[in-house]
Structure 1
Amino acid sequence: MEIKLFKRFQKPFWTAIFIELLHCLASYSMMAYLVIYLSKDLNLGDSKANFLMGTMFFMGYFLPIIIGAIADRKGFKETMTASLILMSSGYFFASKADSFWTIFAALMALSLGGAVMKPVIAGTVKLTANDEDRTLGFSIYYIVINIGSFIAPFLANLIRTQSGHPEYIFIFCALIESSAFLISLLLYSNPEAKSGEVFSISKFFFDLLEAAKDFKLVSFILIYSGVWALYSQIWSNIPLFIVSIDEKMKEKIEYFQMVDPIMIILLQYPIGKIMSKFRPLPSIISGIVISMAAVSTVGIMGTYFGAPSIAFSLALWAIGEMMFSPRAVEYVSVIAPKDKLALYIGFGFLPLAIGLGTGPYLGTLLKNFLEKTGAQNLLFPSMGLFALLTALALYFYDKKFKN
């Protein structure tokens, strides 16, 4: 069975999948401790740490929209090797950074490298699988991402606690990406690409303006961005909150980042099967309501039941995420005109760029405001209220555009 599965896909597919696994091990190892490292170990404070996190997220999810077309033009192998060199260098310099601007430069290099990598791997999966096997190919791709994101926090914690040097996480990541570079150089070959138009920056922005004229698409992007602003708290303000209520949790903070991927690995299939019986928007709204309950309970769980109990809130969030995340891309593909399907799907990822890009810093601003007014206990209930407003906005959006 395993041999038959292996033979169903070309060599570039399996090479790209293995490179993606290594890339996930590196990126999620870094992310699992990054906000604590920036805020506490480099003494940048919460505001600057979350500004850096948001900037990384924005670049990582906005740039692939442009870079995907460049990769088609320049060649996947060349683009991939360039991205891996950039990321290996970025991780190395991050391990040496000791100020805001030096770590900023290193993290921006990592963001750019990661943005280059995303469309190359996804494009390889698409081009090396026939129509019959494409769904299976992308399923393998997403499983690998979740396996990497589950294992990586454990590795990061092991390296940091055993060495006593958190910057060694960056060195570990540099070695992993360097290994991926060697594999891409020696084993990866360009898949047979389809002929297409020459990439044009002017055409890209023309298409952007064309899509911006679609009120339905723009409204959905802006409303749905709120969900990802909340998701960004898992990587930013929630770890900072955990450490603030229990300093000992700093030694185990990476373990909290293992909750979301293990829940997805275990439950994505049954939840996806249930949600497939409903229209995309009701599924998305239901998922956001569950996520509202999740984020609202973070403060209560941490304050009254101890920091480890916040894992319950994160598990609840994962259930909501499995309900809304896959259906959003599906919804965008449904509302897209037939001749603009690829364009709409590409811009359907803008909510991640907007939400993840602004969420960490906006969360910090909200926290600072509530602390000044003596209402710091309302931080996570306020985020829950924001989730409720997002769900209500999508409900009325659905009422308006249902037909």
Structure 2
Amino acid sequence: MGQSTLVQLDTARPTASATKVSETLEDSRSRGAGFGRSFYVANAMEIFERLAWYGFFTLSSLYMSSGVESGGLGFSDIQRGTIQGIIPFLLYLLPVFTGALGDRYGYRKMFFIAFAIMTPSYYLLGQVSSYGAFFTVLLLVAIGAAIFKPLVVATVSRTTDDQNRGIGFGIFYTMVNVGGFVGPLIAGVIKAISWDWVFTLASAWIAVNFLLLLAYREPVATTPRSSAKNPVSIVTDIARVMKNRPFVIYLLIMAGFWACYNQLFLTLPLYIRDFVDTAPLLETVASFSPDVAGAIASEDGTQVSPEFITAFNFGSILLLQIAVSTWCQSLPALRVLVMGTITVAASFLWIGFGPIWGGLGVVTAVVAFSVGEMLASPKSQEYVAESMPSAQAALFMGYYFLSMALGFLLAGLMSGWGYGTLAKTMGRPDLMWGCFAVLASITAAGLLCYHRQFSIQRQNQDRREETP
């Protein structure tokens, strides 16, 4: 997910003193470089896991909706949208409970279990054809990923310190985007051979991590295993968070943003395939490099395959995120968050009501969308720290990802209904993108109303907490 958006599911917050932690850091740490061996191993594992996930996920709409005669599954748009809503919803929800497994049973063991689940599951995705079987196997992929995700983030956290944690997570998120950018490009090329190769390659990417795991060393335990969070304490925390009315409202508002964000992966590939004439863009590419044009062409050789256009999302983030973050770092979080959301809405209008300049216009819209994402995604988490009671900011930050889970669920259902009914049945894809743009605009307006309603309330509460 373009991925300035990856949630920091660090389920093992440091509780030991800084001195004690520094004395017990893993033996492999290189003091000169500032990072230990496991830091680099974890980043490498993240790349391969992202290569597998985005190599599949970016193409999933095309695969599920393509006819059986073309090698796809022939699912209806409602079936496709239901899968794309429920499975990612669970993927982002399950780490609440799987996050503590590394502390209880050991990181290497849980990494092994995650890879043992995902490796055969990715391969089996290409071998099953019924709706129930595909749903079940993809659910196994989500379970494996839900085990992996908090482990790798916690490893990065534990193998960095206060002096280098910022650059450490910067490297980590760069690796996320490298995998997100390269994975679909490679998968798009081998898709021309066979859909089966897409899933075989995804399985192979995960299998590489078994080899990397040989070089992985258990990170230092900053939380005793006996004090690691159990399901009861997690449910208690969630109940506590859900009692905070402003936070719940904020989660619901931001779920609208994430529902819009995911249309880039769920709906845009289908729209490009069925409604956008990318032949002029392909001809332009061919004038510079016939070989590249052949690699990115669709099966009939006349259009650009959609995944190579959506890849501009990850590519632009890799190139522009630092510049965008630098530009807006001193600006108020809410202002930037609203600007980003409105930019996303404008990109949807550009896509749907034209599209201006054909394939090149869609590429431009994807880059504009990515700028909106780069503005809104980091600031959406920063705003949690600003708008929640300061004494409980860390707790609320830890559960912000619930808005992403809800957004994924809503995104899949919206995509299935919107594309099946508005775009295909009614022949009005412009109305579909207009609806997505309206939701993004409502989200931006909701954020402004939320800030006006609750910012003063929060400031008064902080003053009361500071009063002896």
With the shorter chain as reference, the TM-score category is over 0.9
- Structure 1 residues 5 and 352, CA, compared in 2 at 3 Å: closer, same or farther? farther
Question: Match for residue 106 of structure 2?
Answer: 75
Question: Match for residue 123 of structure 1?
Answer: 154
Q: Structure 1 residue 378: deviation in Å? A: 1.2
C-alpha distance in structure 1 between counterparts of 2:78 and 2:441, whole Å: 25
The reply to whether residue 317 of structure 1 matches residue 348 of structure 2 is: no
Q: Structure 1 residue 301: deviation in Å? A: 3.8
For residue 390 of structure 1, the aligned residue among 426, 443, 446 is 443
Q: Structure 1 residue 69: deviation in Å? A: 2.2
Question: Match for residue 294 of structure 1?
Answer: 347
Identity of aligned residues (%): 26
C-alpha distance in structure 2 between counterparts of 1:156 and 1:370, whole Å: 29
Question: Match for residue 142 of structure 1?
Answer: 173
Give the AA of the match of 1:235.
Answer: F
C-alpha distance in structure 2 between counterparts of 1:180 and 1:202, whole Å: 32
| Counterpart mapping for 1:93-108 below 5 A | 93-108=124-139
Give the AA of the match of 2:432.
Answer: L
Question: Match for residue 332 of structure 2?
Answer: 279
Once superposed, what is the RMSD of the aligned Cα atoms?
A: 2.1
1:44-88 Cα offsets, whole Å, 9 max, x none, are 122211211112211221112222123222221111111111110
For residue 270 of structure 1, the aligned residue among 302, 307, 323 is 323
- Structure 1 residues 138 and 374, CA, compared in 2 at 3 Å: closer, same or farther? closer
- Gaps of at least 5 residues in structure 1 are none
For residue 192 of structure 1, the aligned residue among 220, 225, 243 is 220
C-alpha distance in structure 1 between counterparts of 2:361 and 2:429, whole Å: 20
Contact 1:65/1:346, CA 8 A, preserved across alignment: no
Give the AA of the match of 2:40.
Answer: W
Question: Match for residue 205 of structure 1?
Answer: 235
The reply to whether residue 171 of structure 1 matches residue 200 of structure 2 is: yes
Give the AA of the match of 2:329.
Answer: S
C-alpha distance in structure 1 between counterparts of 2:128 and 2:197, whole Å: 12
1:364 is paired with a residue whose SS is helix
Question: Match for residue 331 of structure 1?
Answer: 383
Q: Structure 1 residue 20: deviation in Å? A: 0.7
C-alpha distance in structure 1 between counterparts of 2:31 and 2:308, whole Å: 33
More helix by share: 1
Question: Match for residue 191 of structure 2?
Answer: 160
Q: Structure 1 residue 360: deviation in Å? A: 2.1
Contact 2:342/2:441, CA 8 A, preserved across alignment: yes
C-alpha distance in structure 2 between counterparts of 1:300 and 1:39, whole Å: 24
Give the AA of the match of 1:238.
Answer: L
Question: Match for residue 433 of structure 2?
Answer: 380
Q: Which runs of 4+ in 1 moved over 4 A?
A: 246-251, 336-339, 371-376
Contact 2:269/2:310, CA 8 A, preserved across alignment: no
Question: Match for residue 238 of structure 1?
Answer: 268
Contact 1:223/1:390, CA 8 A, preserved across alignment: yes
C-alpha distance in structure 1 between counterparts of 2:106 and 2:394, whole Å: 19
Q: TM-score of the superposition, structure 1-length normalised? A: 0.93
Give the AA of the match of 2:176.
Answer: I
1:135-179 Cα offsets, whole Å, 9 max, x none, are 010000001111111111110011111x2x112100001111111
Q: Structure 1 residue 119: deviation in Å? A: 0.7
Question: Match for residue 18 of structure 2?
Answer: none
- Structure 1 residues 395 and 83, CA, compared in 2 at 3 Å: closer, same or farther? same
C-alpha distance in structure 2 between counterparts of 1:330 and 1:69, whole Å: 25
Report the more deviating stretch, 52-61 or 373-382.
373-382
Give the AA of the match of 2:175.
Answer: V
Question: Match for residue 347 of structure 1?
Answer: 399
C-alpha distance in structure 2 between counterparts of 1:188 and 1:335, whole Å: 39
C-alpha distance in structure 1 between counterparts of 2:360 and 2:433, whole Å: 17
C-alpha distance in structure 2 between counterparts of 1:45 and 1:85, whole Å: 31
1:305-343 Cα offsets, whole Å, 9 max, x none, are 324531111111100011110111222233444554443
Contact 1:12/1:191, CA 8 A, preserved across alignment: yes
Contact 2:78/2:420, CA 8 A, preserved across alignment: no
- Structure 1 residues 154 and 6, CA, compared in 2 at 3 Å: closer, same or farther? farther
Q: Structure 1 residue 129: deviation in Å? A: 0.4
C-alpha distance in structure 2 between counterparts of 1:5 and 1:34, whole Å: 43
- Structure 1 residues 374 and 261, CA, compared in 2 at 3 Å: closer, same or farther? closer
| Counterpart mapping for 1:218-257 below 5 A | 218-246=248-276, 250-251=298-299, 252-257=305-310
Report the more deviating stretch, 78-87 or 243-252.
243-252
Contact 1:52/1:104, CA 8 A, preserved across alignment: yes
Contact 1:301/1:310, CA 8 A, preserved across alignment: no
C-alpha distance in structure 1 between counterparts of 2:199 and 2:103, whole Å: 30
Contact 2:80/2:416, CA 8 A, preserved across alignment: no
C-alpha distance in structure 1 between counterparts of 2:380 and 2:428, whole Å: 34
- Structure 1 residues 79 and 29, CA, compared in 2 at 3 Å: closer, same or farther? same
Q: Structure 1 residue 373: deviation in Å? A: 6.1
Give the AA of the match of 2:177.
Answer: N
Q: TM-score of the superposition, structure 2-length normalised? A: 0.81
C-alpha distance in structure 2 between counterparts of 1:145 and 1:301, whole Å: 32
- Structure 1 residues 246 and 283, CA, compared in 2 at 3 Å: closer, same or farther? closer
Give the AA of the match of 1:322.
Answer: M
C-alpha distance in structure 1 between counterparts of 2:402 and 2:175, whole Å: 23
1:260-301 Cα offsets, whole Å, 9 max, x none, are 111111111111112111121111111101111011211224
Q: Structure 1 residue 22: deviation in Å? A: 1.0
Query: How many residues of Structure 1 are paired with residues of Structure 2 in the alignment?
Result: 397
The reply to whether residue 180 of structure 1 matches residue 232 of structure 2 is: no
Q: Structure 1 residue 368: deviation in Å? A: 4.2
Report the more deviating stretch, 380-389 or 222-231.
380-389
For residue 306 of structure 1, the aligned residue among 350, 358, 363 is 358
